[in-house]
Amino acid sequence: MTATCLETTANREWVVVNVGTRAVEWKPMEEIGDANLMAATARGDDDAFAELVRRHQNLVFGTVSRMLGGQRAESEDVAQQIFIRVHRAASRYQPDAKFTTWLLTICRNCVFTHLKKQNRWKKEEPWKDEDGVETHPLDHQMDTLTGNAREHLLKQELEKVILAEIAELPEAQRMALVLRQYEQMDYEDIAQVLSATVPSVKSLLFRARETLRKALQSYLHATH
């Protein structure tokens, strides 16, 4: 029976030893699978864990940031907590599903716990001008802009509005939407992350999109 042994070297490459034939094959670290990196992490290999973080930090931070409405400092703190949990769980990790699915399940748990502790999310108070009339600060900025600058500002503002509205969704809807819309995950993988069925995920997505559609219609009407 063939077994695989992984060892790190000073130049951060891996030696893969095929025990059955004693054949030795060199591989760059980035070609090693996540499950093997987790096994090495469990044995105390810090380089293996660093590679896992490098490989998946954008996925984790992007998901957390969108779940929290784009709050960067807060998102960085939660993302750090997620990777701490990954490190602690390395010895118990079983590659029964995709590593990213397992990782995002931890992400879901950390984000949901954080939101409950923070009792989130509160809407911002409406902006009013000096006469006390409810308006939007974008209206005043738009008066001084034309052409591409105007379009760029509108795009930036719309992205902020979308993130804020996503942050208003119920947690399960929010997670399903972020994973589907921004990470292009399959329904089956999202169902695993949420411990739900595929029909439930589709229902969550439908309700989330309907809520966003209505919210964005109201916003676009108010800014025109």
In a domain, 123, yes or no: no
End-to-end CA distance of the chain: 70
- CATH value at residue 103: 1.10.1740.10
Segment 180-204 mean pLDDT: 95
> Please, which pLDDT band fits residue 154 given cuts at 50, 70 and 90?
low
Distance CA 201, CA 189 (A): 10
* pLDDT (average), residues 30-51: 90
The reply to whether 162 and 215 lie within a common domain is yes
Bigger pLDDT: 189 vs 71: 189
Q: Which of 196, 203, 192 is nearest to 105 (CA)?
A: 192
Find the domain containing 5 and state its range.
Answer: 1-32
Q: Which pLDDT band, with edges at 50, 70 and 90, does 195 fall under?
A: very high
Statement to judge: residues 155 and 198 lie in one domain? yes
Which residue carries 């008066």 as its tokens?
Answer: 143
Q: What is the pLDDT of residue 72?
A: 86
Q: Give yes or no for a contact between 68 and 62, defined as CB atoms under 8 angstroms apart.
A: no
Q: Do 65 and 72 form a contact (C-beta atoms < 8 A)?
A: yes
- Confidence (pTM): 0.70
Q: Is residue 83 part of a domain?
A: yes
Domain stop point among 118, 139, 163: 118
In three-state secondary structure terms, 13 is strand
Which of 99, 97, 88 is CA-nearest to residue 37? 99
Asked whether residue 9 falls in the same domain as residue 57, the answer is: no
pLDDT of residue 222: 56
Confidence category of residue 104, pLDDT binned at 50, 70, 90? very high
Same domain, 114 and 132: no
Residue 68 tokens read as 């929290």
pLDDT category at 24 given cuts 50, 70, 90 is very low
Q: Which two tokens stand for residue 126?
A: 């409406």
Domain annotation covers residue 8: yes
Whether residue 145 is predicted with pLDDT greater than 60 in this model: the reply is no
Last residue of a domain, one of 118, 139, 169: 118
How far is 217 from 167, CA to CA, in rounded Å? 17
Number of domains in the chain: 3
Helical (H) or strand (E) element with 43: none
| Better pLDDT: 138 or 224 | 224
Spatial neighbors of 62 by CB under 8 A, at least 6 apart, are 182, 183
CATH code of the domain containing 190 = 1.10.10.10
Domain endpoint, select from 71, 88, 118: 118
Look at residue 184 and tell me if it is in a domain: yes
Residue 62 included in any domain = yes
pLDDT, tens only, 66-89: 998 878 899 999 999 999 999 999
